[in-house]
Amino acid sequence: MPEKRNSRPRLERFQNMDTLARDIERHIVSSLGNDPVAKNRYRYFQGLAHSVRDRLISLWIETQRSYYDAMVKRVYYLSMEFLPGRFLMNYLVNMRMDEATRPVVEGLGFSLEDLEEQEWDAGLGNGGLGRLASCYMDSMATLRIPGYGYGIMYDYGIFHQTIVGGWQEEHCDNWRRHGSPWEIVRRENLYDVHFYGRTETYEDARGLARRRWVDTQKVRAMPCDILIPGYGCEHVTNMRLWAAQSSEDFDLTDFNRGDYMGAMESKVVSENITKVLYPNDKVEQGRELRLKQQYFMVAATFQDIMRRHMKLHGSMSSFPDYVAVQLNDTHPAIAIPELMRLLLDEHALGWDDAWTICTRTFAYTNHTVLPEALETWPVDLLGRLLPRHLEIIYEINRRFLDDVAARFPGEGERLARMSLIGEGHTRTVRMANLAIVGSHTVNGVAALHSEILKNGLFADFHAHWPDKLTNVTNGVTPRRWLLQANPPLSALITDAIGPGWVADLDRLRELVPLAEDAGFRERWAKAKLDNKKRFARYVLRKVNMGVNPKTMFDVQVKRMHEYKRQLLNVMHVVALYNRIREDPGARHTPRTVFFGGKAAPGYQQAKLIIRLINAVADTVNSDPAVQGLLRVAFLPNYCISQAEKIIPAADLSEQISTAGMEASGTGNMKFAMNGALTIGTLDGANVEIMEEVGAQNIFIFGLTAHEVEAMRRGGYNPREYYDRDPELRRVLDMIGTGAFLPSSPHLFRPLVDSLLEHGDWYMLLADFRDYVDTQRRVDRLFDDPDAWTRVSILNAANMGKFSSDRSVREYAERIWNAPPLGR
């Protein structure tokens, strides 16, 4: 047995600040080639970042040695997105160096906040899927689960959003333009990834017929590591992100005859694979590039996994005993035929042995209940790009459908629904079906979501494998989303119950009796007001708009999508605006309503909603009749660093998606953890939040998921709601006839038509009255600050379940069978 290492002295050595100032200045000279006498913020940020990285690398090396010493099972979390935000403060907080670093930096002439602002958010993801992956990486490291994240090192993020004339404009998110001090580039470990070509049959040395993939085009994958430290311990793991490199720099023959562009063409095309997160898949080239990205990531990852496994164990027979692979949504599902290809073609296993290894290795997390959101690929495209994989998918499907037919004889429609191949106008490969068939466990991400999967979306698979589908409710890391993002509140909590809550969020329940303590409520309210003042300064700087911190901060920040119903929120704002104007002498609760989020570049309806929000904001904010009572702001370029400012400041969290549409949500957890009260539907994790905090401490409205389905089946008529509700009718008429943009009176008519003429699929009109009435309940509670603060404390106190530590622990125990590394 290896000698047990003592972690505390080593960690305390890295927390020692005696050499930090010298290290910063040394890196400014040796790493950047600059003079530290020039007090440049960016240079000092880089110097500090490199000094922190030095300490991380030493801990990472020891962590990797401990994996090899203990011969542990390792977890590989495959995700096309990670959304880590800025790294500097997260590293300092998790290494418990933040408070000691602050005076060192101040002694050099800066504030820590000054240097933090020099870091650009990493453009490695888009929304909740990527942020969840990053929370899970934090928890895996903190819980000492041996594992890694695998993804792509995108040069350009989704896009940088600006608002020009009220419209969203997309700009290149060149987040790596100044380089990143956190990347560790492994140029010595390149892997070849193949595309196109053809397959052929040959005889192996034993005279057996086998298949192989030949005449391919080759791209090289270069690993780039970004380190992930656990909280308060020496355990440091990493994300390994792949960057594409051409197998040849350029064609010298073309270059010598003067065709300089042609000489570079192959290199440029090859390296395009990792240029952009989510290339536009509305065009054929974009679809092909997206599939290339997915296979590129998977192929490089499995070469890396197998290299590591064979070095330790020498045989593939034990592969599932030491390797657990989690597919974060369907994007990496091509990993299933890739592992089969490697086992069949490279390791010469028979089909049954290879399939057993494969299905024991993979688990799949589903993140959507929308059938149209389940990924499919045209058979022609997949067959052209990955011909061997299509052959394997066909064989998986043949054997699988034989099993289904044996169990459910004569049920041709069932076979058609469950087939890996969709037989529509264009034949497609159904990646979700492939992920289910090729995995030992499939999980949803909230209790309601998982029930919908079992009884609706994947009901056929649940009937075939009653024990395969399970639930692991999402969680968020309290280190990032409370300790780091909310210093005033986290300091108050620590002062009240001690620091143990940071790594054991269930300890927040110790706050419950303090909700009845008037002095504690006063300190809680002050922490919230401090955050609101800080955020008000941010809003003034970002959008040149002053806001009153004593108003209710009503916040909806998330990806722009019709099912998330930002339009319903705008409709409430218009109703509120009308009420104030019609009865200015009545008691109105002052509100500042914040929106933020990006619309996909090709999603015109979502872009039009952004334009409407800004038009309503212009009207409301310029009307003296509502001054001091109502303000509206759209915050451009919503991202992790912006979320860290707005979430601690929010009073009211808008989680108003149509019931049955949101798989889970994690924004709802972050807001409630920071003491915001939720107004929402019984959708996603809202259901479980209500169970934890109590129905009396959350504002629930609207149809349930079952009621939504029943109304759709029974013939929902949105115009009935329009006809019988004068306030609703007035709101829609104002939007549809140009009240908020007289220069273009018909611009917003498509939004109204989507509700009245095209069926209101997301049932805004059915939920409008209950939503508006529930907002009146919100007003009444906010008008009693002491009562509001009491409920705010109870919300935060009951959020222990929604720590990503709990989620990852469930994965490790129930799905991965991967125990934590011993201390």
Name the residue among 566, 523, 557 with its Cα closest to residue 645: 557
Asked if residue 388 lies in contact with residue 199, where contact means CB atoms within 8 angstroms, the answer is yes
Q: Which residue has the tokens 């969840």?
A: 132
Going by C-alpha positions, the residue among 73, 71, 72, 69 that lies closest to residue 3 is 69
Closest to 363 (Cα-Cα) out of 321, 408, 407, 328: 328
Question: What are the beta bridge partners of residue 591?
Answer: 552, 630
| Residues 521, 540: Cα–Cα separation, whole Å | 29
Say which of 101, 376, 592, 666 is annotated catalytic: 666
The residue type of 373 is A
> Any catalytic annotation for residue 558?
yes
Burial annotation 416-437 (CB, 10 A radius, 16+ → b, else e): ebbbbbbeeeeebbbbbbbbbb
For the CA atoms of 444, 448, 451, 456, the dihedral, rounded to the nearest 10 degrees, stands at -100
How do 74-78 and 147-152 pair as beta strands?
parallel
Does 367 qualify as catalytic in the annotation? yes
Annotated active-site residue 308? The verdict is no
Pair type for strands 376-378 and 421-423: unpaired
Q: Rounded to the nearest 10 degrees, how much is the dihedral formed by the CA atoms of 274, 279, 285, 290? A: 60
For 541, phi and psi rounded to 5 degrees? -70, -35
The answer to whether 634 and 644 have CB atoms below 8 angstroms apart is no
How far apart (Å, rounded) are the C-alpha atoms in residues 272 and 276?
Answer: 8
Report CA Rg, the chain: 27
Measured distance CA(379)–CA(367) in Å, rounded: 24
Report the candidate in 251, 318, 274 with the shortest Cα–Cα distance to residue 74: 318
In 3D space, the residue among 579, 770, 797 whose CA is nearest the CA of residue 672 turns out to be 797
Residue 564 falls in the annotated catalytic set: yes
SS3 content of the chain, % helix, strand, coil (to 5): 55, 15, 30
In whole angstroms, give the CA distance from residue 309 to residue 304: 9
Question: What gap in Å lies between CA 423 and CA 723, rounded to an integer?
Answer: 43
| H or E element, residue 729 | helix 726-736
Three-state SS for 624? helix
**Annotated catalytic residue 645:** no
C-alpha 26, offset from chain centre:
36
CA distance 563 to 370: 10
DSSP letter assigned to residue 392: H
Which tokens is 243 given? 């960057």
- Rounded to the nearest angstrom, the gap between the alpha carbon of residue 195 and the centroid of all alpha carbons in its chain is 29
Residue 100: its H or E element: helix 98-107
Q: How many CB atoms lie within 10 A of CB 582?
A: 9
In b/e form, how buried is each residue of 527-557, taking b as 16+ CB within 10 angstroms?
Answer: bbebbbeebbebbeeeeebebebebbbbbbb
Point out the catalytic residue in the list 43, 309, 607, 670. 670
Q: Coil, strand, or helix at residue 175?
A: coil
Catalytic residue among 53, 523, 558, 631: 558
Around Cβ 200, how many Cβ atoms within 10 Å? 12
Spatial distance between the Cα atoms of 238 and 241, rounded to a whole number of angstroms: 9
How far apart (Å, rounded) are the C-alpha atoms in residues 372 and 453? 14
- Segment holding 132, helix H or strand E: helix 128-142
> Does the annotation count 550 as an active-site position?
no
130, 79 contact by CB (below 8 A): yes
> Which position among 144, 523, 564, 809 bears the catalytic label?
564
Contact 729, 574 (CB under 8 A): no
Catalytic residue among 74, 160, 367, 790: 367
CA distance 733 to 727: 10
Catalytic residues: 367, 558-559, 564, 666, 670
